[in-house]
Structure 1
């Protein structure tokens, strides 16, 4: 939360003037009003002191040897990078041209020399009001940013499991197709279902069903070991895995490891004809994307492979390209 400035609070004021007497008078007036004073007698030193101390307000003499006050103001504005520190120019000249040059350089107001405590107090109060208004605006902007981030989170993540939702999966899949196309690297996609989840809900109830979905979601999240791997809830008991830089053989190895991890978790299924514990069926598709590759095409192939995995008895993954499921591949490997 941004700290709010009260109009009654004291300020740290940087006084910049090459002449000692005007600096002394300004210090006396400011301290009588309860403000803390920093002083600089030269333009370059003023910029350095500003960078070191970040004062709340600057009283800046216009006429100085070498660089004038307008130069100092421009340096300070460039150094703030989006911030804003009120600058009051001090000058014996206050014609229209001088005011215009001051505003162009980044100043906010003019005070004619010699300054009076009464006028200085009024100007400072006006600047304090602007500082308070800016702090409030920044606070509201921060609240809006946080609200937008929360809205973005809600719009891209599933409320129950915390996984990416279908919208986010589709968006990420388009991004990874483009990235793998540029890189000339393989991309694997898996769609997977919890086997006989309706029977789970009918037997154990929807509260237990939600708990099961959360457990499986955490397992899928933990299985995403690389930064670009993504697990998402595609809908109901259906999930998606996006696995960039994963060839088809690697995807099958990944799928077998995932099934073993789920088996070790031993989440009881009260009414499954497949196994006493929760199992998954999944469809895999892998390609090195080219200009003809689309997210819709990958999803259709993964969905077709998922259908094949279910038709072959569930509790397995089927690869669309290899036309092989994890059980068959395991048996083939054992014969080698």
Structure 2
């Protein structure tokens, strides 16, 4: 399949004030688009001007939520070059999501090359300020107009780009977590490990309730027992417990995070033992009170590493340290991973890919 490059007649002024970038509000001049039709496969791949789509009111994505997406970033390094972080992992996960949602897979090599070409064409949109980046959002939706519950025969795949500011404006800071004892995010056999919009839509009510109570994020427990820690919001969770790094295993209900994967590798290289098992909510509170649990943090593309300052569950609150300062291991992992992404530290794993 060829990739056509269409001209942009009226380019936008550009990023503007990088200090005031808001996540997901501003978009670049171009986007990647291709279509799929049963019997024909993927076709009409192009990089075109950023523009709205026209969808039939009966488009199946609007009725049955057959949709997947990814999130990765391009980073501007001190020498002015632009790099991607582990993009092949995101493309591979995109296809795993597609299989689970009965959607057509993409050619991974072609799709990755298309993303690189798109970022290369939009390089002026990669911000230069400390902590900023260009967020990349690959997406696939069911576009066939049909009011019948079955996998669609037509799909639209696209990639859009958004310059984003530093997640921590005033430096890395701990968040307050509310542990839900009623709402659940995913159950075994469901779509918890898939990056699909329905998972996030289902989390909004509890997230709003947490925000109204003054908390930054919701920590989800398992659906069966409501005792075992799974994820926090859109992040995987890690705990420093008895000197080990403990995180929930990948058993179908949590996302196989690219940042999670990277952090576990770096932790082992730092000499930490990594244990993949789900802590119970009781272990969290007993661990903080006994001093066995010393740090906790979330991992994800947007935040990289987000330290936790306190947990609240059924009216009881525990604080990690002073609740205001990231732990030593959390800080070191954050500095190491961002150092690799921005080129301040070497990349022995080949995670960074030049655009």
TM-score of the two chains, using structure 1 as the length reference: 0.21
Q: Computing the radius of gyration over CA atoms, which structure comes out larger, 1 or 2? A: 1
TM-score of the two chains, using structure 2 as the length reference: 0.21
Q: Which has the higher contact order (CA 8 A, sep 6+)?
A: 2
